Amino acid sequence: MRRLIAYFSAATLARSADAGAIVAVVLLAAARPATSGLVGLFGAALTAPHLAGPFLAPVLDRTRRPRILLAGAFLLYGVSLATAAVLIVGGFVVPSVVALVIAGACGPILTGGLSSQLGQLVAPTARAQRRAQGADALTYGVAATIGPVVVALVARSSSAVWATISLAGSAAVAAIVVLLIARRSAAPDDRGEPAPEAVPFWRALATVFTVGPLRRVTLVVCLTAAAVGAVPLLGLASGIRAGAGASEVALLVALFGAGNLIGAVAVTIRPLRTAPEPTVGWTALVSACCLVLIALPLPPVVNALAFGLVGAVSAVQFASSLTARSDFAPEGTRAQVFVTVGGLKVAFSSLGVAVAGVAAVRAPDALLLMAPLLPAVAFATMLADRAAGTFAQRRRGRASQRARRPGAAGSAE
State how far the Cα of 222 lies from the Cα of 206, in Å rounded to an integer: 17
Residues in the chain: 413
Predicted confidence at residue 413, as pLDDT, reads 37
DSSP character at residue 119: G
- pLDDT (tens, 9 = 90+) of the chain, 413 residues, equals 778 888 999 999 999 999 889 888 888 888 888 887 787 788 888 888 888 877 877 788 778 888 899 999 999 999 999 999 999 998 899 999 999 999 999 988 888 889 888 888 888 888 888 888 888 988 988 888 888 888 888 988 888 899 999 999 999 999 999 988 754 444 444 444 555 565 667 777 788 888 889 999 999 999 999 999 888 788 878 877 777 666 677 788 788 888 989 998 998 888 888 899 999 999 999 999 999 999 888 888 998 999 999 999 999 999 999 999 988 888 778 888 888 888 888 888 888 887 887 787 788 888 888 999 999 999 999 999 999 877 777 777 777 777 766 655 444 43
Q: Where are the alpha helices (DSSP H) in 63-159?
A: 66-90, 93-108, 114-115, 126-157
Domain segments of the chain as ranges: 1-195, 199-396
Of the candidates 247, 179, 191, 244, the one whose C-alpha atom is nearest the C-alpha of residue 6 is: 179
Torsion region of 243: left, alpha or beta (phi above 0 gives left; psi -120 to 50 gives alpha): left
**CATH annotation of 199-396:** 1.20.1250.20
Nearest to 310 by CA among 332, 326, 287: 287
Instruction: Please indicate whether the domains covering 1-195 and 199-396 agree at the CATH topology level.
Output: yes
CA–CA separation, 10 vs 177, rounded Å? 6
Distance CA 44, CA 246 (A): 26
Report the CATH superfamily, name and number, of domain 1-195. Answer: MFS general substrate transporter like domains (1.20.1250.20)
Distance CA 16, CA 138 (A): 12
